[in-house]
Chains A and B, each alone.
Chain A
Amino acid sequence: MIKFEEVSKTYPGGHLALSKVNFHVAPGEMVFLTGHSGAGKSTLLKLISLMERPSVGRVYINGHDLSRITRRDVAYVRRDIGMIFQNHQLLMDKTVFDNVALPLVIEGYSRKQIYARVHAALDRVGLLHKQNNPPATLSGGEQQRVGIARAVVNRPPIILADEPTGNLDPALSLEIIRLFEAFNKAGASVFIATHDLGLIARMHYRTLTLKGGQMINDGLTETPGVQA
């Protein structure tokens, strides 16, 4: 589903963020990506969502080489990827409903479909009763769930999450991860970047580890014992 081949990324100014990274995430797999701050987790996610382009190497999604995607087509690729951010990236002057509906409005769904899907997504994350509130009135955990509802509302085959539990206490974090598990069971490939090692240890999922821009563990070969 997601495949990196010898991917390196050097930022302007010479900072080497990723160095010769190789890995492959199978369709329907749920994977954690971990490493210290600055290890290259965010850069790796940005290469998948086309916010950055690799300096060397190739990234494939579903067998398609992302280097062939033109600037114009980036928007269409992002519609296949549900993205979740540590800082939620919600529109604070719109209601919860409008925030979740945004991807559907962009894709040109009809009003009826938008209502049905947004309600389903909000119901899934348990926030249907707050659909008319502005996000600012919600707690951090609730805002994160709104972000998740927005990411999954158009049922993307890939879900990317960048530190989704960053600001949450362990109980809330687990709740969020359980949501991802549910979407994974429904068929989506889930890719979660986090430095919350305690959380990962409890979950027994495949874990990729980055250190200084290099992939020191792809969760398959070196420590197979971690696998459940």
Chain B
Amino acid sequence: MSLLFKSRQSGAQQHQIGLLQKLLMFFTSHFRQCIASFGEIIRTPLASVMTIAVLGLSITLPGTLYVLVKNLNNISADTQQAAEISVFLKQQASDADIQQLIKRIRTWPEIESLTFVSADDALEEFRRLSGFGDAVDYLDSNPLPNVLLVYPSDKFGTPATAKTLLDKLIQEREVESGKLDIEWLERLHAILAIANELVTMIALLLFIAVILIVGNTIRLNIFNKRSEILVMKLVGATDSFIQRPFLYTGFWYGFLGGIMAWITIAILLWWMSSNIEDILALYNQDFDLAGMSFSTLMSMLGISIFMGLAGSAISVSRYVSQIEPR
């Protein structure tokens, strides 16, 4: 396009190129700059790796926390319905009393099934699973009560109905106290809600920091290329043409940072998974640590690319237009 000389033809008008080919050339030019920016990153490995690592690690922290919180959410969701009522029996209740009790309440329509855990069995289980086996040996007598584990039928499985059932069970003569296993879940839910918010806040703060860091890196890139930018402006490059390579650099920072976050999170989860599964086994949960779904991975990469681009765009819009030949 020539503003001053109407008859003069330039690049895209040469040979009367069609719209399709013009479009093709537009993308070719973008592709060239995109690849060139990638090459630039490869040629300055140290500086690039530092920026990419900042991006990657900043996403790793909230990413890992997110996975953990999500897994805890899964546990609580699984257990929500199958509420289990622990009924603690009085120490003085004899075995015969207990058998009587079991026979009596088994007929209740609210109850699906029940399991008797004797004090001795409970102690044995505790010794096996808690890791405090040695400590248990120091005890003179078994401090644990006999326990009846009552599973409500589906109809009475919701927290409210289970609560009613619990109240009814406590009325029984042999029963000392009872505990709904749903209570710890309710507490867990409350804690999880806070944890979720905490993860979001940490993520937001880190993301802002990352955008600023990328912006600053790109700003330095721009100043390093000051003379090149001046020459390009002298021979007729538009601001957007000069800005594009820097935006692509931001894109690549984000893309590579996102990939790095994937790898780091995978390693962290693999490292922590055996410990986490040990803990969860204590809660009698059949549990596999869920990794990240495809959509989560993609949105993580998306966020990373967005941050790279945003940081770059902030610097580019401010500084490229400031560099003018004088």
A residues near B (Cβ < 8 Å) are 46, 49, 51-52, 61-62, 64, 69, 72-73, 75-80, 83, 85, 89-91, 102-110, 113, 150, 154, 157
- On whether the beta carbons of B12 and A108 are closer than 8 Å, the reply is yes
Which of chain B's residues 1-31 have a Cβ closer than 8 Å to chain A?
1-5, 8, 10-12, 14, 25-26, 29
> Interface segment, B109-117, B141-149, B179-187, B236-244?
B236-244
A143 to B29, CA, bound (A): 28
If A80-B2, A80-B3, A104-B11 are given as contacts, then 20 extra A-B residue pairs at C-beta distance below 8 Å, sorted by A number, are A51-B325, A72-B238, A73-B3, A75-B233, A75-B241, A76-B1, A77-B236, A79-B10, A80-B4, A83-B234, A102-B231, A105-B29, A107-B10, A108-B11, A108-B25, A108-B26, A109-B11, A110-B25, A113-B14, A157-B8
- On whether the beta carbons of B3 and A102 are closer than 8 Å, the reply is no
- B residues less than 8 Å from A107 (CB atoms): 10-12, 236
With A61-B4, A69-B3 in contact, is A91–B10 under 8 Å at CB?
no
- On whether the beta carbons of A75 and B228 are closer than 8 Å, the reply is no
- On whether the beta carbons of B25 and A79 are closer than 8 Å, the reply is no
Which of chain B's residues 66-108 have a Cβ closer than 8 Å to chain A?
none
Please give me the residue from chain B that is nearest to A88 by CB atom.
B231
- A residues less than 8 Å from B324 (CB atoms): 51
A87 to B233, CA, bound (A): 16
B residues near A (Cβ < 8 Å) are 1-5, 8, 10-12, 14, 25-26, 29, 227-228, 230-239, 241, 324-326
- On whether the beta carbons of A75 and B238 are closer than 8 Å, the reply is yes
A52 to B326, CA, bound (A): 7
- On whether the beta carbons of B4 and A102 are closer than 8 Å, the reply is no
Pairs A–B under 8 Å by Cβ, sample size 25? A46-B326, A51-B325, A62-B5, A64-B3, A64-B4, A73-B3, A76-B2, A77-B3, A78-B233, A78-B236, A79-B235, A80-B5, A80-B8, A85-B234, A89-B231, A89-B234, A102-B231, A105-B29, A106-B232, A107-B10, A108-B29, A109-B14, A113-B11, A150-B235, A157-B5
A109 to B29, CA, bound (A): 9
Please give me the residue from chain B that is nearest to A82 by CB atom.
B235
Please give me the residue from chain A that is nearest to B227 by CB atom.
A91
- B residues less than 8 Å from A80 (CB atoms): 2-5, 8
- On whether the beta carbons of B230 and A103 are closer than 8 Å, the reply is no
Interface centre among B4, B12, B227 (most CB of A within 10 A): B4
A106 to B239, CA, bound (A): 11
- B residues less than 8 Å from A51 (CB atoms): 324-326
- On whether the beta carbons of A154 and B325 are closer than 8 Å, the reply is no
- On whether the beta carbons of B236 and A75 are closer than 8 Å, the reply is yes
Pairs A-B, 3 closest by C-beta atoms: A107-B11, A79-B236, A78-B236
A61 to B238, CA, bound (A): 20
Q: How far is the CB of A90 from chain B (nearest CB, A)?
A: 7
- On whether the beta carbons of B2 and A79 are closer than 8 Å, the reply is yes
A64 to B5, CA, bound (A): 9
- B residues less than 8 Å from A89 (CB atoms): 230-231, 234
Return the contact of A78 from the options B12, B235, B239, B326 (Cβ within 8 A). Answer: B235
- A residues less than 8 Å from B3 (CB atoms): 64, 69, 73, 76-77, 80
Return the contact of B231 from the options A69, A79, A90 (Cβ within 8 A). Answer: A90
- A residues less than 8 Å from B231 (CB atoms): 89-91, 102
- On whether the beta carbons of B4 and A106 are closer than 8 Å, the reply is no
Please give me the residue from chain A that is nearest to B22 by CB atom.
A108
- On whether the beta carbons of B12 and A77 are closer than 8 Å, the reply is no
A49 to B325, CA, bound (A): 10
- A residues less than 8 Å from B234 (CB atoms): 49, 78, 83, 85, 89
A103 to B238, CA, bound (A): 11
- B residues less than 8 Å from A110 (CB atoms): 25
Please give me the residue from chain B that is nearest to A76 by CB atom.
B3
- On whether the beta carbons of A106 and B237 are closer than 8 Å, the reply is yes
Please give me the residue from chain B that is nearest to A109 by CB atom.
B11
Q: How far is the CB of A134 from chain B (nearest CB, A)?
A: 14
Return the contact of A91 from the options B4, B12, B29, B228 (Cβ within 8 A). Answer: B228
- B residues less than 8 Å from A61 (CB atoms): 4
A108 to B237, CA, bound (A): 11
- B residues less than 8 Å from A64 (CB atoms): 3-4
A100 to B326, CA, bound (A): 22
Please give me the residue from chain B that is nearest to A66 by CB atom.
B4
A109 to B236, CA, bound (A): 14
Q: How far is the CB of A65 from chain B (nearest CB, A)?
A: 10
A49 to B230, CA, bound (A): 13
Interface centre among B231, B234, B236, B237 (most CB of A within 10 A): B236
